[in-house]
Structure 1
Amino acid sequence: MKAITTILSIISILTLNDVSGQQIPFEKDPERNTTVTYEELRSYYQDLLKDEKQAKIMDLGKTDVGKPLQLIVLSKDGDFDPQSIKAKGKAVLFMNNGIHPGEPEGIDASMMFVRDLLRQNKLSSDVVICLIPVYNIAGMLNRGTTRANQNGPNAYGFRGSSQNYDLNRDFIKADTRNAMLFNEVFSTWDPDVFFDTHTSNGADYQHIMTLIATHPDKLHPKLSSYMKERFTKPLYREMDKKGYPMVPYVDSKGETPQSGLVSFLDGPRYSTGYAALHHTIGYMPETHMWKPYKDRVESTYALMEILHENLKREAKHIVKLRQEIKEELVHQKQFVIRWELDTTKVEQIPFLGFQSGHQTSRVSGQQRLYYDRKKPYSQNIPHYYRYQETLRIDKPKAYIVPQAYEKVIQLLKANRVDMQQLKRDTIIDAEMYYISDYRTSNRPYEGHYPHTDVELEVVKRKQAYFEGDWVIPTNQQAIRYIIETLEPQATDSFFNWNFFDAVLSQKEYFSAYIFEDYAAEMLEKDKDLKKSFEEAKINDEKLRTSGTAQLQWLYQRSPFYEKTFKLYPIARLVN
């Protein structure tokens, strides 16, 4: 009887493969340790979809390596127009693969997923799927074995792009063609759920799959609660049933997971953080790098299936809820733009780990961390799952962006921000910021020296703007994107990514031997200024003991001092 059952199982598998269509290299490899090449990927989808009425391949434009970024759209009724699809009330699932081509399981899993959806007639009339087969094409073409801590496949792509950017740090600043194309296509399709496939690094544990979900504190409370109850919990429950018990992404509070996990706060530089600016639920699966490649691909495929089935059930509800939230946000007066971990909010979650310890390194002779796979454990560990706000700002009526900042304008347009140009030159009563203090990274990070800890001086002033400058009203659905890019203190603001650094350098100075006499006259003519000067010297030893510093103090209060130094050029209209 057992032999008969085995034979029937084999026949069933062969039949399924025949029904599903062509196999991918992963399936053809008996060891399941092969990932597809870029050429094989292109040929596979061209052959699979050439006569398919429910699928379409779209070229979005050239990536940084010259190859086109492609989008595959799966639509049961053959409608591939995003506006028409939205008008019909369909939900959109957006899937992204190969942002780090050295983490390729999503690329392979998606090939099988698309094939099986079409061949097994699993598409829903309520859900349209948008899928990027590989995002970092340059990285996929740079094939080798560059991940020392990863267990297969036998060859794979490289993390960096053609310009050596990590594309999962580029979504908000869009230094690459890839990111600019992504901004445009994401905003065009306005997905309800986003899914971006990855492989983790870090601690060792038993789990094959871990998960980053859009951080609940980055979403509207209604959407956050809905995501948790109707999506995240079912994903965990169903993955457990399939034999892939999940945990949140393993970012340990201390040296090992037993110290507790810290919920990942995904800023807009990351894909799911960028998606949150558009009120899109985002998931970033992170398979464990040291598990066999077969298990990593199959668990990713399982999560794809579960997410898709869940969205089919929730399609009408999520579309309606997101629209309600967007309309509410138009009228919201305040927005949080900074958070920090709330260590008082902690829950206990089940975790399958390996005992760890320290032993003498055979390389350095010093103590090193190790995990003992012969000593698995199952226990509850702390999970720090919430962040608290540290900065909240009042929304202005509008922002004004000078036309000179072309990259800013390009990104705002790509993200479907409503804007109008001034018809004539004008002087505007505006609220503006002086950058009073900030810190800058002392080494490059993703092509920039980012700023942090920005402090502002708020001033009211008459500011000249010109015909062609851009007015951005804030009573619009793109408000979250507008706030987190244009407010300098937001974590991933355009200011923090160095888009406005020219205002931080002074353009005019003084020659001390000439200005000395003028400064003396200033003090003689202005008694209040002289009083302030003397008080400042008493309170500041450096000023008191430095003639140069004293001249600089007076120069800053002279009519010669440039008023644009450290003046953030984007105005806030508050009246």
Structure 2
Amino acid sequence: MLKTVLLAALLHTAAPAKEKPDLKTPYEQGNGNQTATYQEAIAWYQKLDEAYEEVQMTPVGMTDVGRPLHLVIVSTDKDFDPASIHQKNKRILLIQNGIHPGEPEGIDATMMLVRDYLQDKKLRKQLDNVVLAIIPVYNIGGALNRNSHTRTNQNGPEEYGFRGNARNLDLNRDYIKTDSRNAQTFHQIFREWDPDVFMDNHTSNGADYQHVMTLIATQHNKLNPTLASYLSGKMVPTLYAEMKKDKFPMVPYMNHPAETPESGIIGFMESPRYATGYTTLYNTIGFVPETHMLKPFHQRVDATYKLMENMIETIHRDADEIGRLRQQAKRETLAQQKFPLDWQLDTTKVAQIPLLGYEARYKPSEVSGLERLYYDRKSPYSKKIKYYDEFTPTVTVEKPVAYIIPQAWREVIERLKTDGVQLQQLQRDTTLTLDTYYITDYKTSPRAYEGHYLHSGVQVETRHMPRQFFKGDYVVYLNQPANRFLVEVLEPQAVDSYFAWNFFDGILMQKEYFSSYVFEDLAAEYLRKDPTLRKKLEERKKQDPEFAKSARAQLDFVYKNTPHYEYTHMMYPVGRLMQDVKLPL
């Protein structure tokens, strides 16, 4: 018996202890000017997952390049269920990296940050009420398209990915139109995890200045007022103060209409095509850190690390307040009756902010011989500049009880389903009298933009009219968390509506016409029977000399005022049900 015990003890002693893997990142193993490849980043997170029970990495869905999009969750109580995490009143911070893989600071900084928070007891304490959800590399296709030249204006790293994804789409323009599989998977992640705060790490372009970090916060006028008050009054000032202590004083993103920023900068009004424009629709506070392209890569990584560290500390400190305010904002959005669709800058409201810049000077160009701009780094300055960051709505709409969407518009239905919208279907053919828009005017971009020819300046006329809908057509009630998203995509005047992105272009082309020599007699008969129409025609001829000279234009005028003209031309197919009536659902 004694021999058996001794043998067992010897065997136990001889068994090698399980060693923690080497979690030094590829960036740390390099020379300070190298960033992890996509393969290296995923392999590193796999090691982190194996080393810590508090970490779970999961492939969520596919991307355009055929590789899965991974989500890494860091939860110190090992709870990886988003519903349960929200029930525990914990806050969720979603960090996204590599949407533009040529701007890779976030990829490297986040890897080091997560490891440090797991290994440092003081930092780890901040994760008691904060769960991290991390997309290691969002634009995988772009990350695999590695090169050293496409970021022409950028100071390192030695190699990096490309801005376009596998379909050459800029994914930071794809959150609403959702043409990419990447965006479809992101919607799945975002709607399931419902993050309280979102960070999308970037690198800037533009002017030269002393700051390493600039910041885009969710545009406060667009954010729910309850959250906007906290964001502008407490959260953003805290981040600025803490970054200044960390020797990375920040300034808002340098969005300046003039050639140089001294004359003032304008707050970035992000529409829902952009990451934080989309996340705002669900009352998530969003940030886009933009490090300065001309600073050494190691400084940009350090600044991104520090900002994320300060973000976690702020969320940890204000966890209960953020949770309470978000719940209030969600209730207010459910009850909200009027929604803004477009905005304009209010130039009467201006703030003064400090800028650490360099003097802008001019000299002859060695290329053209003409005057060219340069920034003189031997002449730094600290001065106040104008900051315009107040916007007012220019178009506002009253929300309907429900939208009725004919099933024929399947691309639209598919996108609503991708976003987790609650849909119902008519169980029999039904005639409904409701509000219907007719498009009366719009402008279209002459060149392709992200695979589309965007419409803008949309004008509509509302008609209250009976419409025939069919079994299987969709009913979308505005009594759900997606209310604001639905208004932004289904109201044609919204900047990033599905109409603006060409998903309803079939209505813009007339399908039936007339032969002039045949319609002449019929038109004359309509004018004899309808004196009012005759009067309208004569008034139009007086007002428009070109119209008065065109027989075809006058026939067309009569045609469009008769039952022969197709009522579906320019008719926006989504109906607006303004009263709650019983539907066969």
Question: What is aligned with 2:381?
Answer: 377
- Find the residue that maps to 1:124 and give its secondary structure: helix
- Find the residue that maps to 2:554 and give its secondary structure: helix
8 Å CA contact 1:20–1:119 kept in 2: the answer is no
8 Å CA contact 1:358–1:367 kept in 2: the answer is yes
TM-score (norm 1): 0.95
- List alignment gaps of at least 5 residues for structure 2: 1-18, 580-585
Distance 1:467 1:330 in 2: 28
CA deviation after TM superposition for structure 1 residue 79, in Å: 1.1
Per-residue CA shift, 1:294-321, capped at 9, x if unaligned? 0000000000100011111111221121
CA deviation after TM superposition for structure 1 residue 407, in Å: 2.3
8 Å CA contact 2:20–2:51 kept in 1: the answer is no
2:478 to 432, 450, 474: 474
1:336 to 316, 337, 340: 340
1:253 to 257, 263, 280: 257
8 Å CA contact 1:437–1:454 kept in 2: the answer is yes
C-alpha RMSD of matched pairs (Å): 1.4
8 Å CA contact 1:56–1:80 kept in 2: the answer is yes
2:143 to 134, 140, 143: 140
- List alignment gaps of at least 5 residues for structure 1: 1-17
CA deviation after TM superposition for structure 1 residue 119, in Å: 2.1
8 Å CA contact 2:38–2:140 kept in 1: the answer is yes
Question: What is aligned with 1:14?
Answer: none
8 Å CA contact 1:187–1:414 kept in 2: the answer is no
- Find the residue that maps to 2:70 and give its secondary structure: strand
Distance 1:220 1:523 in 2: 54
Farther off after superposition, 519-528 or 126-135: 519-528
Question: What is aligned with 1:364?
Answer: 368
Distance 1:63 1:179 in 2: 8
- Indicate whether 1:157 and 2:161 are aligned: yes
Dislocated runs of 4+, deviation >3 Å:
18-21
- Find the residue that maps to 1:400 and give its secondary structure: strand
Question: What is aligned with 2:411?
Answer: 407
Match for 1:29: what amino acid? G
Question: What is aligned with 2:524?
Answer: 520
CA deviation after TM superposition for structure 1 residue 521, in Å: 1.8
8 Å CA contact 1:101–1:156 kept in 2: the answer is yes
2:398 to 377, 394, 405: 394
8 Å CA contact 1:19–1:120 kept in 2: the answer is no
8 Å CA contact 2:355–2:384 kept in 1: the answer is yes
Farther off after superposition, 396-405 or 172-181: 396-405
8 Å CA contact 1:20–1:120 kept in 2: the answer is no
Question: What is aligned with 1:194?
Answer: 198
CA deviation after TM superposition for structure 1 residue 206, in Å: 0.3
1:568 to 564, 569, 572: 572
Match for 1:38: what amino acid? Y
Question: What is aligned with 1:5?
Answer: none
- Indicate whether 1:238 and 2:242 are aligned: yes
- Indicate whether 1:130 and 2:133 are aligned: yes
- Indicate whether 1:423 and 2:424 are aligned: no
8 Å CA contact 2:216–2:253 kept in 1: the answer is yes
CA deviation after TM superposition for structure 1 residue 267, in Å: 0.7
Question: What is aligned with 1:87?
Answer: 87
Distance 1:406 1:230 in 2: 44
Match for 2:297: what amino acid? Y
CA deviation after TM superposition for structure 1 residue 19, in Å: 9.5
- Indicate whether 1:58 and 2:58 are aligned: yes
Question: What is aligned with 2:218?
Answer: 214
Per-residue CA shift, 1:321-341, capped at 9, x if unaligned? 111111122122111111111
Residues 420-459 of structure 1 aligned to structure 2 (within 5 Å) = 420-459=424-463
Question: What is aligned with 2:582?
Answer: none
Question: What is aligned with 1:462?
Answer: 466
Distance 1:410 1:249 in 2: 35
CA deviation after TM superposition for structure 1 residue 20, in Å: 10
Question: What is aligned with 1:266?
Answer: 270
CA deviation after TM superposition for structure 1 residue 52, in Å: 2.0
Farther off after superposition, 240-249 or 421-430: 421-430
Farther off after superposition, 327-336 or 562-571: 327-336
Farther off after superposition, 68-77 or 112-121: 112-121
Question: What is aligned with 1:37?
Answer: 37
Farther off after superposition, 200-209 or 315-324: 315-324
TM-score (norm 2): 0.93
Distance 1:20 1:268 in 2: 41
Distance 1:52 1:137 in 2: 25
Per-residue CA shift, 1:524-555, capped at 9, x if unaligned? 22222222222221112122100110111111
8 Å CA contact 2:90–2:319 kept in 1: the answer is yes
8 Å CA contact 1:195–1:283 kept in 2: the answer is yes
8 Å CA contact 1:21–1:119 kept in 2: the answer is no
8 Å CA contact 1:542–1:549 kept in 2: the answer is no
CA deviation after TM superposition for structure 1 residue 21, in Å: 4.8
Per-residue CA shift, 1:171-208, capped at 9, x if unaligned? 11100000111112101111100000000000000000
Question: What is aligned with 1:173?
Answer: 177
Q: Percent identity?
A: 52
Match for 2:262: what amino acid? Q
Distance 2:215 2:86 in 1: 28
8 Å CA contact 2:33–2:158 kept in 1: the answer is yes
